[in-house]
Amino acid sequence: MPQQQCGFRDAKVKKIYLDHVSSKPIHPRVLEFAKGYLKHGYGNPSSLYSVGLEAKRILEDARIKLAELINGENENSIIFTASATEANNLAIRGTALRNVSKGREVAASTIEHISVLNPMKELQKNGFTLNLIPVDSMGVVDLAKLDEVLTKNTTVTSIMYANNEIGTIEPIREISTTVHDKGLYLHVDATAAAGYIPIDVKADGIDLLTLSSNDLYGPQGAGALYVKPGIKLQPILLGGGQERGLRSGTENLFAVAGMGEAARMAKDEMAQEARRLKGMRDKLIEEIVTIEGAYLTGDPTQRLPHHASFRFEHIEGESILLNMDMYNIQVSTGSACSSKTLEPSHVLLAIGLKHEEAHGSMVLTLGRSNNMEEIPTIVKAVKETVERLRKLSPLSNKGVM
């Protein structure tokens, strides 16, 4: 049983945080780099005097670091936003509305984040056609269906680089070829993938790409959109014309500077950190799939190096999350942005799971704070949690009558 009394966690039990896909702590080196801008970074980058020019220099330095992480053409290809959600909205709505004369169709995979799907559904209410591309049981986009669905009227197609709930990495280069043969522009949400696997927007054939500060161990409150030179967008936030006129509002200098430094660190340390995380991920998967009625979700090999996701028969994901928290281990049961609803994950339904199967999910995402010594503790907690919940479940033949 978990070490707790009266419903409270034992303060002596070490916390093991395994929900890095939904939020990451700011890295101490990033904080040290950026914290001075909380006190001294009050200049407006749009001002022409010295304090403003220094702020602009800091802003442009962060742009360079982001462009280098994804091999963008130059710093001018980076547009800063307040979040990845805003960047997704700018990419989708901005591209569709700016290019409406070329077509009124948009497309996305069935497993996209809701910050991609909801803007497309909003466009659909205003006369656009939304075409959804299915995925297979591993979460990989069906390339034949993609080719079938896209038309010359498809202005923007959005396919994520890797899925945040099941960890599957998509064949972006093949997808790009099809999109550019049949449609107009490819947008890629790289929020879950950036910093874990190499991304090269030029080699991958990506036109627009979303990044998140917090998902790179940077401060919350900043995101970015890569826009390939020559692509025109309609702004969705109007005002003073900052960010090349595409995103008005004074930039959050602390968050942007931190995001830039986090991108630099990710670029320099990605390969080594990915190898370390993959070893832990593989051990978790090896141990947890031995539990009766436990199944890995997502592609077993083409998956993010820090991502292990499962479903369990006859128990609810929310119960898993709460029971694991009693061990002071924080896990996820799907997308944090979808947790306000009681509906099963649209991602798990899209890969072919039944409603009752999709409800029993658990996602473990490793990060810099985790180490191999924690694996036995995590596995033991998962096994005890599943056993306890199954005994309580009326759906299980091991349930209490």
Which of 64, 296, 337, 395 does the annotation list as catalytic? 337
DSSP string, 40-77: H----TT--SHHHHHHHHHHHHHHHHHHHHHT-S-GGG
User: Do 221 and 110 reside in the same domain of the chain?
Assistant: yes
* Predicted confidence pLDDT, tens digits, the chain (401 residues): 454 443 445 556 789 999 999 999 999 999 999 998 887 777 888 888 888 888 899 999 999 999 999 999 999 999 999 999 999 999 999 999 999 999 999 999 999 999 999 999 999 999 999 999 999 999 999 999 999 999 999 999 999 999 999 999 999 999 999 999 998 999 999 999 999 999 999 999 999 999 999 999 999 999 999 999 999 999 999 999 998 989 999 899 999 999 999 999 999 999 999 999 999 999 999 999 999 999 999 999 999 999 999 999 999 889 999 999 999 999 999 754 545 556 789 999 999 999 889 989 999 999 999 999 999 999 999 999 999 999 987 666 554 43
Residue that terminates a domain, selected from 219, 241, 266: 266
The range of the structural domain enclosing residue 371 comes to 10-25+271-392
Q: Are 47 and 240 in contact (CB under 8 A)?
A: no
Of the candidates 266, 288, 318, which is a domain's last residue? Answer: 266
Answer whether residue 252 is part of any domain.
yes
Kindly state whether residue 2 falls inside one of the protein's structural domains. Answer: no
Catalytic residue status for 6: no
- The reply to whether 243 and 162 lie within a common domain is yes
Q: Which two tokens stand for residue 119?
A: 């803007």
Distance CA 235, CA 248 (A): 8
Residue 9 pLDDT? 56
Q: What is the CATH number of the domain that holds 372?
A: 3.90.1150.10
Domain boundary among 266, 289, 312: 266
Q: Give the single-character DSSP code of 13.
A: S
pLDDT score recorded for residue 51: 82
Q: Is residue 37 located within the same domain as residue 19?
A: no
User: Can you tell me the distance from the alpha carbon of 111 to that of 108, in angstroms, rounded to the nearest whole number?
Assistant: 8
**Can you tell me the distance from the alpha carbon of 3 to that of 292, in angstroms, rounded to the nearest whole number?**
24
Tell me if 303 is assigned to some domain. Answer: yes
What CATH number should be reported for the domain holding residue 32?
Answer: 3.40.640.10
Whether residues 261 and 205 fall in one domain: yes
Could you tell me if residue 1 is inside a domain? no
In which element (H, E) is residue 33 found?
A: helix 28-34
Cβ 232 vs Cβ 92: under 8 Å: no
β-strand pairing of 208-212 with 16-17: unpaired
Select from 3, 188, 185, 163 the least CA-distant residue to 87. 188
Side-chain half-sphere of 132: how many Cα atoms within 13 Å? 15
Question: Is the distance from CB of 221 to CB of 85 less than 8 angstroms?
Answer: no
Residue 395: predicted pLDDT: 64
Q: Do 248 and 363 fall within a single domain? A: no
pLDDT in the model for residue 340: 57
61 burial (CB, 10 Å; 0-12 / 13-18 / 19+) is: middle
Q: Looking at the structure, do residues 119 and 192 belong to the same domain, yes or no?
A: yes
Together in a domain, 228 and 352: no
How many Å apart are CA 186 and CA 227, to the nearest integer? 11
| Residue 3 is assigned to a structural domain of this protein | no
Q: What local confidence, expressed as pLDDT, does residue 126 receive?
A: 94
Residue 401 lies in a domain: no
Judge whether 400 lies within some domain. Answer: no
**Residue 195 CB partners (closer than 8 Å, separation 6+):** 69, 215, 216, 217, 262, 263, 266, 270
HEC-encoded secondary structure of 284-332: HHHHHCCCCCEEECCCCCCECCCEEEEEECCCCHHHHHHHHHHCCEECE
Contacts (Cβ under 8 Å, ≥6 apart) of 7: none
Quick one: pLDDT at residue 87? 98
Domain contains 386: yes
Give the span between the Cα atoms of 316 and 395, in whole angstroms: 10
Three-state SS for 368? coil
Q: Which two tokens stand for residue 362?
A: 């658990």
In this structure, what DSSP letter does residue 360 have?
T
- Same domain for 102 and 251, yes or no, is yes
204 and 67 within one domain: yes
Number of domains in the chain: 2
Task: Give the pTM.
Answer: 0.93
Q: 86 Cβ partners below 8 Å, 6+ apart?
A: 223, 237, 247
Of the chain, the end-to-end C-alpha distance in Å amounts to 21
Q: Are both 35 and 125 inside the same structural domain? A: yes
Are 147 and 48 found together in one domain? yes
Same domain, 113 and 157: yes
